[in-house]
Amino acid sequence: MVLTQTQIDHFHEHGFLVFDPGLDEAFVDDLREKVFVHYDPAFQANPTFPTRLQDLWKRVDEVRQLAVHDNVLQALEQLLGRRARPFQTLNFPTGTRQAAHSDTIHFNSLPHGYMAGVWVALEDITPDNGPLIYYPGSHKLPEMSMQDFGLEPGYEHYGEYEEMMREHIELHGLKPQLGTIRKGEALIWHANLIHGGAPQTDPKLSRHSQVTHYYFADCQYYIPMRSTPDKPHIREPEWVTFEPYVAPEESVSPPAPSLLRRLVNKLRRSVS
């Protein structure tokens, strides 16, 4: 068992849990270095603006190894009582300044509540380098879809969602906390915990981190932004693999029969 009952209770009470998955420090440093070279060259030359890389697990195996780390998977299973499987990784070299949201707006499950984010610090996180910001207890409020906010689904309306979420936080008097965790520690959030990226007070600072999003077994998975209350847009996620990723070979289509016929005729003409 990776988690104690006190930790499990903390997660259900507050909607998040900081825990130590026991990562090797050399592994964390290696991962951070291997990820860095993949960031946009403009960022590498001037690493002061927010950028991110999605699903780098396919190209940097350490990212995948962290996503399927046994202690993380065990902790998630203890928290929700079902097997967890990662379906997306995000790597960040700086603070994101992302507005407050709940992940239920991006990915959701039926039954609800079987999704979690795991945010791993790849260096020490302080109030100055743009930590995660989250609202303890907000997971207990009802899930808010676009329709619940009186909005049309679709990312073209996402700015309106962010505005409504700001009002929702104010209305419920939610108080933020900062994820100032140490290198190698992980913060797990509940599917409905409201969170975002706090401003980075010094733009020259880095804030290396990896977020992995997980679903749990025996659910249907849907995309809220493409769903209506009576018609969820179900999808099978692209799961992070338990073995190193092998890209599917590019399929070489056989030449069309008409092309073959033309080639044969050309050959015949050239030999006659």
Ligand X SMILES: O=C(O)CCC(=O)C(=O)O
- Nearer to ligand X by Cβ, of 92 and 215: the residue is 92
Report in angstroms the alpha-carbon separations of 82 from 74, 218, 219.
10, 8, 10
Q: How far is the CB of 196 from ligand X (least distance, A)?
A: 5
Q: How far is the CB of 43 from ligand X (least distance, A)?
A: 16
- Nearer to ligand X by Cβ, of 127 and 255: the residue is 127
The order of strands in the sheet holding 132-134 is: 177-178, 132-134, 195-197
- Nearer to ligand X by Cβ, of 44 and 54: the residue is 54
Classify the phi-psi angles of 184: left when phi > 0, otherwise alpha if psi is within -120 to 50, otherwise beta: left
**DSSP string covering 168-209:** HHHHTT---EE----TT-EEEEETT--EEEPPBSSTT----E
Instruction: Give the CA count within 13 Å in the CB-facing half-sphere of 238.
Output: 8
Residue 121 dihedral angles phi and psi, to the nearest 5°: -80, 125
Binding site for ligand X (CB under 6 A): 90, 92, 95-96, 98, 103, 117, 132, 195-197, 209, 211
- Nearer to ligand X by Cβ, of 48 and 265: the residue is 48
Q: Which residue number is nearest to ligand X in terms of Cβ?
A: 197
Q: Is the backbone peptide bond immediately before 248 cis, with ω within 30 degrees of 0?
A: no
Q: How far is the CB of 200 from ligand X (least distance, A)?
A: 10
Q: How far is the CB of 151 from ligand X (least distance, A)?
A: 19
Q: How far is the CB of 232 from ligand X (least distance, A)?
A: 20
Please calculate the CA angle 192-198-200 and round it to the nearest 5 degrees: 155
- Nearer to ligand X by Cβ, of 68 and 191: the residue is 191
